[in-house]
Structure 1
Amino acid sequence: MSTSPVPPPRPAAGPPRTATVPVEGELDHESCGELLRAVAAHLAARPRVDVVRVDCGDMSLCDSTGLSALLQVRRDVDAAGRRLLLDRRPAHLERLLRLTGTADYLLTDRPD
């Protein structure tokens, strides 16, 4: 998995500031910490990031530890009052979310 650096500051006016964290390869025990650290860095960024996007397009596998990390990302983003979007979800991730009953929790936009 690789992560993108914290985006540069933008002016206060305009569209919401978005940070994208790409997930490449397997999201498992070995790579989950990297995802959690990248999201935490974006949530701590100044100026504030309004939307955290996790780009799952290049994810080749998500095991139970990876699912746990995604659930933790959801909790962290919600606690920070931000939006989470899981973009470009591969079929195997969609299936995992459906089978585990976590799709509604992870994919539903939280009210502002």
Structure 2
Amino acid sequence: MGVRQDGQSMVLALRGELDYDSLEQLQEAGERELVTGRAGGPLVIDCAELAFCDSSGIGALLGLHQQMSAQSRALRLASVPASVARLLELTGLDQVLSVHPDVADALARDRQHPDAARTSDPAQPNQERRA
């Protein structure tokens, strides 16, 4: 798992599997970002190298989304593999989580709409999903 700062955003790159045995790394990285708030903007999860995600991984992403929302910050998923995208669709989380075709698109949203780095109401439906 790699972490880098890009302007006001943090990018967290997932690799391999996100399941019960590996979700602790995601949770720890998310907690570090929430506590330190180094960037203060959205957290982008790069899923390009994610090979597998089970329900516990989805639960960890949802939990991180809720924690970020509590701090008025956004969580964005980028480069989501088809199998994971299907899981998000089946669970309805594609309506909750912000999904982008790639990291550049997720980061560009802030450059196009500077106020979009923060999310004001996590209960509002996702208006920024892209196919």
TM over 0.5: yes
Question: Between Structure 1 and Structure 2, how many residues are aligned?
Answer: 103
2:33 is aligned with 1:38: no
Matching residue's letter, 1:75:
Q
Match of 1:92 among 53, 63, 83: 83
State the SS of the aligned residue for 1:4. Answer: strand
Matching residue's letter, 1:4:
V
TM-score by length of 2: 0.70
Which 4+ residue blocks in structure 1 deviate beyond 6 angstroms?
Answer: none
Contact 1:26-1:62 at 8 Å conserved across structures: yes
Gaps of 5+ in 1: 8-14
Residue 31 of structure 1 and its aligned partner are, at CA, apart by 1.1
- Structure whose residues are more often helix by fraction: 2
Distance 1:32 1:101 in 2: 21
2:13 is aligned with 1:22: yes
Q: How large is the Cα RMSD of the aligned pairs?
A: 2.2
Do the aligned partners of residues 16 and 82 (structure 1) sit closer, same or farther apart at CA in structure 2, a change above 3 Å counting?
farther
